[in-house]
Copies of this chain bind each other. A is one copy, B any other.
Amino acid sequence: MSENLDLLNRRRKVMGDSPLFYEEPLHFVRGEGVYLHTADGQRYLDCYNNIPVVGHCHPRVAEAIARQNRMLNVHSRYLSEPIVAYSERLLDTFGDGLDQVLYTCSGSEANEQALRIARQLGRGRGIICSNFGYHGNTAAVDQVSPMMHRERQSFSEVRSIPFPETYRPLHGLSGQHLIDAYLAEVQGAIDSLEASGIGFAGMILCPIFANEGLPRIPPTLLQRTVERVRRAGGLVIVDEVQAGFGRTGTMWGHQLMEISPDIVTLGKPMGNGYPVAALVTRAELLAAYREQVFYFNTFAASPTAAAAAMAVLEVIQEERLAEHARETGDFIRHGFADLAGRHGLIGDIRGAGLWVGVELVRDQQTREPAARETWQLVNELKREGILVSRTGPYGNVLKMRPPLVFQRGDAERLLAASDRALQRIEGLATDSQGDAEVMVSDMSGTSVRMRDR
Give chain A's interface residues, CB within 8 Å of chain B: 4, 7-8, 10-11, 13-21, 25-31, 36, 49, 51-52, 56-57, 59, 61-62, 65-66, 69-81, 83-84, 87-88, 91, 99-103, 105-109, 112-113, 115-116, 137-140, 142, 148, 150, 267-268, 273-276, 283, 286-287, 290, 292-302, 304-305, 449-450, 453
- Is B106 in contact with A71, judged by CB distance below 8 angstroms? no
- Is B79 in contact with A57, judged by CB distance below 8 angstroms? no
- Is A299 in contact with B286, judged by CB distance below 8 angstroms? no
Q: How far is the CA of A398 from the CA of B40 in the complex (A)?
A: 55
- Is A10 in contact with B84, judged by CB distance below 8 angstroms? yes
30 A-B contacts (beta carbon < 8 Å): A10-B84, A11-B87, A14-B101, A16-B283, A16-B287, A18-B76, A18-B301, A20-B77, A27-B80, A28-B72, A28-B74, A30-B71, A36-B74, A51-B298, A56-B74, A57-B72, A59-B70, A61-B69, A62-B69, A105-B109, A106-B106, A106-B298, A115-B139, A137-B296, A137-B297, A138-B138, A138-B139, A140-B140, A275-B276, A296-B453
Closest chain-B Cβ to A14's Cβ sits at a distance in Å of: 4
Q: How far is the CA of A100 from the CA of B16 in the complex (A)?
A: 7
- Is A140 in contact with B139, judged by CB distance below 8 angstroms? yes
Known: A15-B83, A84-B11, A296-B137. A72 touches B31 (CB 8 A): yes
Other A-B contacts than A49-B74, A137-B295, 17 sampled, CB-CB below 8 A, are: A11-B79, A14-B84, A14-B100, A15-B103, A20-B77, A28-B80, A31-B72, A51-B298, A61-B69, A66-B66, A73-B273, A105-B106, A108-B109, A137-B296, A138-B140, A139-B139, A268-B298
Q: How far is the CA of A300 from the CA of B18 in the complex (A)?
A: 11
Number of copies of this protein chain within its complex: 2
Q: How far is the CA of A148 from the CA of B283 in the complex (A)?
A: 22
Closest chain-B Cβ to A425's Cβ sits at a distance in Å of: 23
Q: Nearest CB to that of A287 among chain B residues? A: B16
Q: How far is the CA of A65 from the CA of B276 in the complex (A)?
A: 15
